[in-house]
Amino acid sequence: MPSLVVIGAQWGDEGKGKIVHLIGKNSDYIVRYQGGNNAGHTVVFDGKHFVLHLLPSGILEPGKKCVLGNGLVIDPAAFKEEVEFFENRKIKVRGRLYVSLAAHVILPYHKYLDTLRETASKSGAIGTTRKGIGPAYSDKVGRTGIRVADYLEPELFQTLLDQNLKEKEPLLSQVKPIKQIRQEIMKDYRELRDFMEQFATDTTILLSNAIKKDQRMLFESAQGTMLDVDFGTYPYVTSSNPIAGGACSGAGVGPRYIDEVLGVIKAYTTRVGDGPFPTELNSAEGNYLQSKGQEFGATTGRRRRCGWFDALVVKHAFRINGIKRFALTKLDVLEGLDPIRICVGYKVGSKTLSNFPVSRTLQANSVPIYKNFRGFKGNLRELKDFSAFPLEARRFVKEIEKAVDAKCALVSMGKSREETLILDKDFPWLQ
Ligand code: GDP
Ligand code: IMO
Ligand code: MG
């Protein structure tokens, strides 16, 4: 039953899609356990570039079974569109993709509410993807949500829909009359419902049977620990638990069945949307990272904010997720910068912090303390052996290991899975 959870240990977009695709070839099941189509996971495969929003990155590997767990919020229209996108490209999806009956659905009114909240006041905006994620999770926790199982029962669905529209009318009527929203939903309902039915099942039974048969499980997180609703930079977070613990509640798998957690980190830091970001660079160096790293949001196309590697962020994430091994991505992007830096502490007034603070006031006022290192030159992407890397690049990796107290198992220096080196010979997940 070997099982691995792959999480992002910064603010998302660490390269989880690439790493899951790489490890996924040795897994039997690839399971998403939280989030929705706010995610954008890029996989470069056979020279083609795919962005997955809802489907696990393992879907590109023929024959692998893929699961969307109960912890997700699923927009039925976005789901259908994504499945058809892959099927139109001759990637067989039906028969190996399973959707939890207990996942919640995102309906158009969730997206309207998301946009209303984002536009109501500038100071209250989070910079969400406006995919309806927050409002759908609010309904789930508020016990008014509609689950996939409810969506499949037409009478029950309409009763729940009407209750929701009535409750939300004071806000929704700012967008359009609820009668019109209802019509919008009912216009496509039959088609979307019938489509969803082909995939919906009790995924806990499927997963528990697979575990009994010793199948290899790979849990794929969306977003990153700094966007976690409990441990991220609240309120500038998403509305779910991307941390490894979320795999248990979001897939219905007991903690005893999780063997390891792999953290994915970039050699620098990025963030899309608003919120504190102590090492953010509003300078030529930030622009260099942004343009060389092609840092644009895979879901919204927004320019990602860029900054130096922040060891306080990653230490915080590794502590919460129990990480001892990590994959380091985008080392190639640092090439050409000199010096390169790692943030090892924060100054707030006369105080020095060595751990990422919980207080939003401290987060907003933290000034990074850096350790500087010599930059490196040369195209890492062509190198097949870590010992052939420039000394400065190798030293930077070692310094990251030291700063975050964990071992670098994989180094990624390009988009494709071939552009990855295994540094930890005991890393079992690619064997
Ligand atoms: P995810 O959300 O964590 O899966 O990450 P995204 O796909 O949103 O963003 C990561 C981006 O970096 C994608 O465009 C990847 O193709 C790209 N990428 C991943 N690893 C590397 C790497 O080692 N080097 C470079 N240059 N690009 C990479
Ligand atoms: P992947 O899986 C980066 C950010 C949004 C916003 C905040 C809340 O590709 O790493 P939401 O729409 O979830 O309510 O927005 O979270 N965000 C992401 N940032 N990568 C993601 O996913 C993200 N998903 C949400 O930009 O700041
Ligand atoms: Mg992404």
Domain at 83, CATH number: 3.40.440.10
Residue 113 has pLDDT above 90, yes or no: yes
- Mark whether 209 and 146 lie in a shared domain: no
Query: From the candidates 21, 41, 110, 316, which is the catalytic residue?
Result: 41
Packing angle between helix 154-172 and helix 178-197, nearest 10 degrees? 140
Which residues contact residue 253 at a Cβ distance below 8 angstroms, ignoring those fewer than 6 apart?
3, 204, 207, 208, 211, 217, 219, 247
Q: Are 132 and 140 in contact (CB under 8 A)?
A: no
- Mark whether 248 and 365 lie in a shared domain: no
Residue 243 has pLDDT above 60, yes or no: yes
Domain boundary among 164, 195, 226: 195
- pLDDT level of residue 431 (50, 70, 90 thresholds): confident
Q: Average pLDDT for residues 112-138, to the nearest whole number? A: 95
CA distance 163 to 53: 29
Residue 182's pLDDT is what?
A: 98
Residue 356's pLDDT is what?
A: 98
Residue 316 among the catalytic residues: no
Q: Average pLDDT for residues 394-408, to the nearest whole number? A: 98
First to last CA, the chain: 15
Q: Name the residue at shortest CA distance from atom 1 of ligand 1.
A: 13
Q: Are 256 and 266 in contact (CB under 8 A)?
A: no
DSSP state string for 104-138: EEP-HHHHHHHHHHHHH-GGG------SSHHHHHH
pTM for the predicted model, two decimal places: 0.98
Which residues contact residue 426 at a Cβ distance below 8 angstroms, ignoring those fewer than 6 apart?
none
- Mark whether 236 and 274 lie in a shared domain: no
- pLDDT level of residue 299 (50, 70, 90 thresholds): confident
CATH number of the domain that 172 lies in?
A: 1.10.300.10
With a 6 A CB cut-off, is 40 part of the ligand 1 pocket?
yes
- pLDDT level of residue 123 (50, 70, 90 thresholds): confident
Residue 375's pLDDT is what?
A: 98
Query: From the candidates 13, 75, 114, 310, which is the catalytic residue?
Result: 13
- Mark whether 74 and 114 lie in a shared domain: no
Q: Which atom of ligand 1 is nearest to the CA of 293?
A: 26
* pLDDT tens profile 350-378: 999 999 999 999 999 999 999 999 999 99
**DSSP helix/strand/coil, 194:** helix
Residue 134 has pLDDT above 90, yes or no: yes
- Mark whether 294 and 406 lie in a shared domain: yes
- Mark whether 326 and 286 lie in a shared domain: yes
Tell me the residue ranges of DSSP E strands in 144-183. Answer: none
Q: Average pLDDT for residues 146-150, to the nearest whole number? A: 99
- Mark whether 355 and 281 lie in a shared domain: yes
CATH number of the domain that 390 lies in?
A: 3.90.170.10
Domain boundary among 211, 238, 257: 257
- pLDDT level of residue 157 (50, 70, 90 thresholds): very high
What is the chain's mean pLDDT, rounded? 97
* pLDDT tens profile 309-341: 999 999 999 999 999 999 999 999 999 999 999
Show the tokens assigned to 158. Answer: 């309409």
With a 6 A CB cut-off, is 266 part of the ligand 1 pocket?
no
Domain boundary among 141, 160, 195: 195
Instruction: Look at strands 325-329 and 260-266 and give their pairing.
Output: parallel
**What is the tally of structural domains in the chain?**
3
Residue 1's pLDDT is what?
A: 53
- Mark whether 304 and 371 lie in a shared domain: yes
Q: Which residues surround ligand 3, an ion (CB under 5 A)?
A: 13, 40, 298
Which residues contact residue 302 at a Cβ distance below 8 angstroms, ignoring those fewer than 6 apart?
272, 273, 296
Lowest mean pLDDT, pick from 45-49, 256-260, 293-297: 45-49
Spacing, Cα 148 to ligand 1 middle (Å): 31
Range of the domain at 276: 265-430
DSSP state string for 263-291: EEEESSEEE-SSS--TTB--SHHHHHHHH
